[in-house]
Amino acid sequence: MKRTTAAPSPFNGIHVGIIMDGNGRWAAARGLPRTAGHRAGVRTARQIVEAATRSPSVGTLTLYAFSADNWSRPTHEVGALMRLLRRSLAVESKRCLQNGVRLSIVGRRDRLPASLISAIHEAEAVTSLGRNLHLRVAIDYSARESIMQAATLAGGESLSRERFSHLLAQVNHDPFAIRDVDLLIRAGGEQRLSDFLLWECAYAEFYFTLFM
């Protein structure tokens, strides 16, 4: 991997991370298929992004959309999620452009379908000039794997926290240096990080709720 230096983030305001959990359970409680819960999750995510865009205090928003562990879900559910993510990027990137939101997808890309990778590249290019909010969506993301890759990339280099944050940004395809999370929210009732932003959440405040 080529060594590059991530740029300082131009987005002022706090960094909010959200683990969007419980979509499947939400659907099951209503007698609906799990995919209906995922579609409802997309609608909720849209409302969250719109609220963050209006807030003068939020500069960066990171949403946990698909973890590396999610590949173990049933094949039909994973396929439906990949299609939903691809369609959502096409629709939501237009909303992001209209509202000055820069969209970045963080996580691995080598295991994603080619059609989704293409949609990611297009969405990131279309929204690259947004300055009202930096929206980061984590897809095929694992914080522990990212930390291991960044440590390997360092190659024995003596690192500062800032330098390591730059390396984490590089392995996660993030154009900006990693920012600490100020507030971590998890829906669905669980009270754990589930391999999400472990480095960035060192000093975060946590808020757990049953449903968003």
CA distance 112 to 109: 5
> Annotated catalytic residue: which of 21, 140, 174, 182?
21
**Best CA proximity match to 190, nearest among 202, 208, 204:** 208
**Is 21 a known active-site residue?**
yes
Phi, psi for residue 139 in degrees, rounded to 5 = -125, 130
What is the spatial distance between Cα 2 and Cα 80, in angstroms, rounded to a whole number? 34
Contact present, 64 and 23 (Cβ < 8 Å): no
User: Residue 26's Cα: distance from chain center in Å?
Assistant: 21
DSSP designation for 9: P
- Distance separating alpha carbons of residues 145 and 140, to the nearest angstrom: 11
Q: Is the dihedral of CA 56, 103, 195, 32 positive or negative?
A: positive
> Out of 70, 99, 132, 180, which one is annotated catalytic?
70
User: Cβ distance 137 to 63 under 8 Å?
Assistant: yes
Q: At what angle do helices 143-154 and 161-171 cross, to 10 degrees?
A: 110
Q: Are 58 and 48 in contact (CB under 8 A)?
A: no
Looking at residue 71, the DSSP 8-state letter turns out to be G
Catalytically active residues, by annotation: 21, 70
